[in-house]
Structure 1
Amino acid sequence: MIAWLRSLFKGLYRISSVLIFLLLWEIAPRLGIVDAIFLPPFSQVAVAFWQLIITGELFTHISISLLRSLLGFSLGLSVAIPLGLLIGWFKGFEHFIDPLVQTFRQTSTLALFPVFILLFGIGEISKVAVIFWGVQWAVLLNTISGVKNVDPLLIKAAKSLGISKFSLFIKVILPASMPSILTGVRLSATHSILVLIAAEMLGANAGLGYLLFFAEANFLIPKMYAAIITMSLMGLIVNYSLVSLEKRVLKWKEELPSGT
């Protein structure tokens, strides 16, 4: 019983900051501290959120956004991870391509969205393309860093056993760089949602970005905040899901003897 109460209080403590924020959100407009027209009480936003759920409108927009995000994200990983492994492993290739990589990664993703529209039109391809571009850099740079920062003692120990270069890469370099790669994947996953929302606000007829833009344009303020909350919840779910996956994939690190 005591253990259950401790778990309950611990859980409440973890979410106490969120509860306090929502309470302030509810009270401030009602007391006139902020204009209720532009920041309605949280209860009104909750009602709008519930209406989006029961009508099914919210799930329609979420599914469309998730499909776009997943497609662009998957394509981005399929390029960024192999390229990062190559750049991190082959120094000659790194010296050749690094100036181009540094130039591209400094270019704003959303600044290129008009270019993608010109190349691919205003349909789905341009939105997937902007996500594909936006998710590249965190994964790419983390993959390069992971490969280059592998413990040299591990490499020397493997070479002393007469391991081939290919086996060294597969059995030593890739597993040792996996934590850094997964960190880049987690950062890129949440970034892909943010980029997509912005792209949908600029040109779409469905999706969370479109829902946000439509609500703002028609002065449906509670609905607009409901869309923003949905985006935040999506980001949290994606982040914690990837954290859980990362722990499962890297479980072998926890099982290593101390001092290894």
Structure 2
Amino acid sequence: MEREPSKRALQIRSVISVLVIVVLWETAARAGLASPLFLPAFTAVMAEWWTVCADGSLPADLLTSLFRAFAGLFAATLIGVGLGIAMARSRLVHWIFDPVIALAFPSPKIAFLPIFILWFGIYSTSKILLVAFACVFPIVIGTYAAASAINRVWIWSAYSLGTSNLTLLFRIVLPAAWPRIFAALRVALPVSLITTFTAEMVGGGGGMGAALMYSQRFFESPTVFAYILTMLVVGLLLDAIMLRIQTAFPAWHSNA
């Protein structure tokens, strides 16, 4: 029976894969297989990355984008968790909101960007609200599924002991539903980043996406690739942090 690779082996394999891609990238660029306009050398991209970091432009753009993404995700979490639990606990609330969620969830949220810009301007407010709008639906659906799956015996036992609705929420419902809620948040996190970067690319107003498109208009290819690589690394690091938190707290895992 074939043994599964260890965690260390998987990490080494991932590093080797990345190194192979970097070597092929650098080789192709240095060999002139593609124009530097379309594929600058990896070393040139890293040199430009260091330049934009040293002058403060990339860190400032990154902080702007992360603020918008996290603020929107935070708002979506507050609304989504509350609404999801309310839908699971109340038939009336479920009857009112279920058709709305079923209609809005599959829609491309970035298509609403012109409306958000028209109502709230091109800067942070429109981006934050659009992120919240994009992230709230997976959180609502995940929370509703989690709260609906709670063992009814726990609920009945708590009521039989005279537990109030507020105590039931914080002592039974939220702890039991949290693993699946956390899984929904892990899904919503990359959605918040994607929505933020895309909204900035399309609507401007500063941030990573706007800076990337500005560089592209002036054919500053190393800067474009530097920003793209930063976006990829930030997404990877944030997902790794979420996974580490989930591992550190086993009760937050959906299989717990």
- Which bin holds the TM-score, normalised by the shorter protein? 0.7 to 0.9
Query: Greater CA deviation, 221-230 or 158-167?
Result: 158-167
What is residue 31 of structure 2 aligned with on the other side?
31
**Distance across 2 between alignment mates of 1:163 and 1:62:** 47
Partner amino acid for 2:185? V
Aligned length: 250
**Distance across 1 between alignment mates of 2:125 and 2:252:** 39
- Quick check: 1:30–1:36 contact (8 Å CA) kept in 2? no
What is residue 146 of structure 2 aligned with on the other side?
146
Question: Cα distance, 1:216 vs. partner?
Answer: 0.8
What is residue 247 of structure 1 aligned with on the other side?
247
Structure 2: which 5+ runs fail to align? 1-5
Q: RMSD of aligned C-alpha atoms?
A: 2.6
**Distance across 1 between alignment mates of 2:110 and 2:10:** 41
What is residue 187 of structure 2 aligned with on the other side?
187
Question: Cα distance, 1:205 vs. partner?
Answer: 4.3
- Quick check: 1:200–1:210 contact (8 Å CA) kept in 2? yes
**Distance across 2 between alignment mates of 1:88 and 1:23:** 52
What is residue 101 of structure 1 aligned with on the other side?
101
Question: Cα distance, 1:9 vs. partner?
Answer: 6.8
**Distance across 1 between alignment mates of 2:213 and 2:66:** 17
**Distance across 1 between alignment mates of 2:101 and 2:54:** 46
What is residue 3 of structure 2 aligned with on the other side?
none
Question: Cα distance, 1:223 vs. partner?
Answer: 0.7
- Quick check: 1:48–1:223 contact (8 Å CA) kept in 2? yes
What is residue 77 of structure 1 aligned with on the other side?
77
**Distance across 1 between alignment mates of 2:101 and 2:253:** 31
Scaled by the length of structure 1, the TM-score of the pair is 0.85
Question: Cα distance, 1:164 vs. partner?
Answer: 4.9
**Distance across 1 between alignment mates of 2:11 and 2:106:** 41
What is residue 127 of structure 1 aligned with on the other side?
127
With a CA cutoff of 8 Å and minimum separation of 6, indicate the structure with the bigger relative contact order.
2
Structure 1: which 5+ runs fail to align? 1-5
- Identity over aligned pairs, percent: 26
Question: Cα distance, 1:30 vs. partner?
Answer: 2.9
Is residue 20 of structure 1 aligned with residue 20 of structure 2?
yes
**Distance across 2 between alignment mates of 1:38 and 1:232:** 19
Flag the 1:126–1:7 CA change in 2: closer, same or farther, 3 A.
closer
Q: How does 1:26-65 map to 2 (within 5 A)?
A: 26-65=26-65
Flag the 1:252–1:238 CA change in 2: closer, same or farther, 3 A.
closer
What is residue 66 of structure 1 aligned with on the other side?
66
Question: Cα distance, 1:148 vs. partner?
Answer: 1.4
Equivalent position SS for 1:236:
helix
- Quick check: 2:124–2:205 contact (8 Å CA) kept in 1? no
1:173-205, Cα deviation, whole Å (9 max, x unpaired) = 211110111111122122111111111112334
Flag the 1:8–1:246 CA change in 2: closer, same or farther, 3 A.
closer
Question: Cα distance, 1:112 vs. partner?
Answer: 0.4
Question: Cα distance, 1:49 vs. partner?
Answer: 0.9
Equivalent position SS for 1:135:
helix
Query: Greater CA deviation, 199-208 or 42-51?
Result: 199-208
**Distance across 1 between alignment mates of 2:253 and 2:71:** 31
Equivalent position SS for 1:97:
helix
**Distance across 1 between alignment mates of 2:88 and 2:214:** 44
**Distance across 1 between alignment mates of 2:58 and 2:148:** 44
